[in-house]
Chain A
Amino acid sequence: MTITPETRAEAERLFAAFRAAGAVPVEADVLQPAEILLDLYGEDIRARAYVTQDPLRGEMVLRPDFTVPVVQAHMQDGAEPARYCYMGEVFRKQDHLGPRASEYLQVGFEVFDRDAVAADAEVFALFSELVQGLGLRPLIGDIGILLAAIEGLTTTARRKAALRRHVWRPRRFRALLDRFTGRAALPPARAALLDRLKSNDLKGLLDDAGPQIGLRSEAEVAARAQALLEDAETAPIAAPEAALMYDLIGLAAPADAALHHLRGIQPLMPTISGAVDRFEARLAALRARGIDTATLPFEASHGRSTLEYYDGFVFSFQGLDADAPPVASGGRYDALTAILGQGRSIPAVGGILRPALLAALKGV
């Protein structure tokens, strides 16, 4: 899709604003090594990446975003704290006919700073200023609160891990939660499987099942069968605790009211205190930067289906068309940088804007 002069000018304006905010411009190759990117990203970006074969460098991908290259650049020679900005095209296959572009300009800003609260507020306030006057709806969330709540559930480590893993797939998460809380019956296939495992000797089952083929070993099969049997003995999460969890994932309110609500349920869910403290501190930092947190919309589940790899503060600015992608979005991705840092943790928060959408809004 050809970039119009208006879009280009809009991109330059944003890029200049990020530099003025102290960010160092970063360049990234359009062709990125596929393996590391595709392994890190969730299924959505994976499926939509343009993968191509290079005779010398192997499998390459047209960059689906800048986050990983920026983190890598920072790890090579970055001092902390650091601020980076970038501007360039990203590429994502579109699976549906319609107005969504498969190639578009992104302008982004990333902050690597141990003072997470200040960095969150800085990024949000800057983005808010860059899109002001366009009638966009801001929305914030905090995946960290959900993760902390899961940690506090009275259930097995295995069930918590399953819930944590599916935080970014709300439908699956809901199905698991329904099962772990006893709201949903065991699916027939699972019930039949458990019957078979309970009433037979595992070794006998394995012997009768046919030859072991493929990479997944008999030991792995046996380990999971054992885990299934153990899980079947696990008591459901108690009703009051379950009710709190359902309440939390559905929480949608102006930020200050959401904080009040969270403080209210915190005594019943003590593991969320740290995350709620951070949320409160973030709201104070936002107010100090002129953001009205009494009206700023908050949703506890925001970012769960669209902003894969974010694991803390998340935000977006959406136009009137709810089906269109957000004009701007971002969040905290400490877990991703921990994986890329191979043990080194690099707290990071950032976001991107889509200049084409901004230019279109201004053109109306």
Chain B
Amino acid sequence: MSLKIGVPSKGRLMEKTFDWFGARGVTMRQSGAEREYSGEIQGVDGAELVLLSAGEIPRELSAGRIHLGVTGSDLVRDKLADWETQVAEMALLGFGHADLILAVPSAWVDVESLDDLDAAAAAFREKHGFRLRIATKYHRLVRDYLTLNGVADYQLVDSQGATEGTVKNLTAEAIADITSTGETLRANHLKILQDAVIHASQATLFAARKADWSAENRAVLGALTAKLGLPATAL
């Protein structure tokens, strides 16, 4: 069995990942037709390229079905309980930067910080009879962050896409989402809370602790990390 490396299967994340490995002498490319989800890897023996949805890579790492994987650090932290016990961070790849932030309507001139959000949530619950709703798909990260900071009287509502639209659509009062430039937020009349960057995410190379680390696979990992110029990975 070879060492499987999971890489996002499309878009800029895939291209940038290929560039990052390519710059270090490991060539990755899609094989066959452009839309076919299989790939080739050259420059290190015994490794196999697996193209996957970036959102599924944390789960595959957790299960140990792939040995290494590239995905956003936000996804790993959000989807894996005690992520450090499940995966090892091998390298921050320096692209795919995005911040997980909290945003509220710009019209809320009384809310600039977490403190304000907490107080507004208390008043909102009293007035409307239910907890202030925060739409997000990053449940674990947002909940842990709000718990740590002692925010109360809120509830998380799930939103898997177009989260910026939930406030206007009256399905949430605030949102927690990934943003890089903030343009979509502004277009939807939302503003970012000042002291509330929940996580600064970037594309990261992870190793799965639970994968089959046979002597053979460890040797491949050793050769790969040497080629990539990374320190040895403690698994």
- Footprint of B on A, CB under 8 Å? 38-39, 42-44, 46-47, 94-97, 162, 165-166, 169, 171-173, 175, 187, 189-190, 192-193, 196-197, 202, 205-206, 209-216, 218, 220-221, 223-225, 228
Contacts and interface: CB of A to CB of B under 8 A. Distances in A.
B124 A216 contact: yes
B137 to A, nearest CB: 15
B81 A96 contact: yes
B44 interface: no
A214 B168 contact: yes
Contacts of B140: 95
A214 B164 CA distance: 12
Contacts of A165: 122, 152
A321 to B, nearest CB: 19
Task: Specify the main secondary structure of chain A where it touches its partner.
Answer: helix
B123 A213 contact: no
B208 to A, nearest CB: 15
Nearest to A162: B119
Contact of A187 (B113, B130, B146, B148): B113
Interface residues of B, number: 44
B158 to A, nearest CB: 11
Given A47-B143, A193-B116, A166 B109 contact: no
Contact of A214 (B147, B151, B167, B194): B167
Contacts of B122: 162, 165
Contacts of B29: none
Nearest to A211: B189
Interface string B147-169: 11111101100000000000110
Contacts of B105: 210, 212-214, 216
B106 A216 contact: no
Contacts of B132: 216
Contacts of B150: 166, 169, 171-173, 175
Interface string B1-31: 0000000000000000000000000000000
